Amino acid sequence: MSFVQSLTEQFIEQLPSDYEFKIIEVQRRDGSLLEFTQKKILAHMITHEIHHIGQLSIWAREIQRKPISSDLIIRHFE
């Protein structure tokens, strides 16, 4: 297991039980505030990661390499 994967697992295991309702305020450049739940932020981060995995897979195919697995559950077993 990689260091990053280990840190990610620790982070997820330590999420508070109410993380899906806990609000984070983000101040925009114009001073206005946006509110997001921790759950929404985490979902965005995961989606963004998957997007980059897809990009890497496309680039790998373009240079005739095996695409990167997008299976985040068993990737570390491959």
Q: What total of structural domains would you count in the chain?
A: 1
b (16+ CB within 10 A) / e for 2-37: eeeeeeeeeeeeeeeeeeeeeeeeeeeeeeeeeeee
**Calpha distance 55→52 (Å, rounded):** 5
Which residue range forms the structural domain that includes residue 28?
Answer: 3-77
The 8-class DSSP code of residue 76 comes to G
- Output the domain CATH number for residue 28: 1.20.120.450
How does pLDDT run across 15-73, given as a tens digit for each residue?
Answer: 888 888 999 999 999 999 999 999 999 889 888 888 888 898 899 999 999 887 766 66
DSSP-based three-state secondary structure for 21: coil
How does pLDDT run across 38-47, given as a tens digit for each residue?
Answer: 999 988 988 8
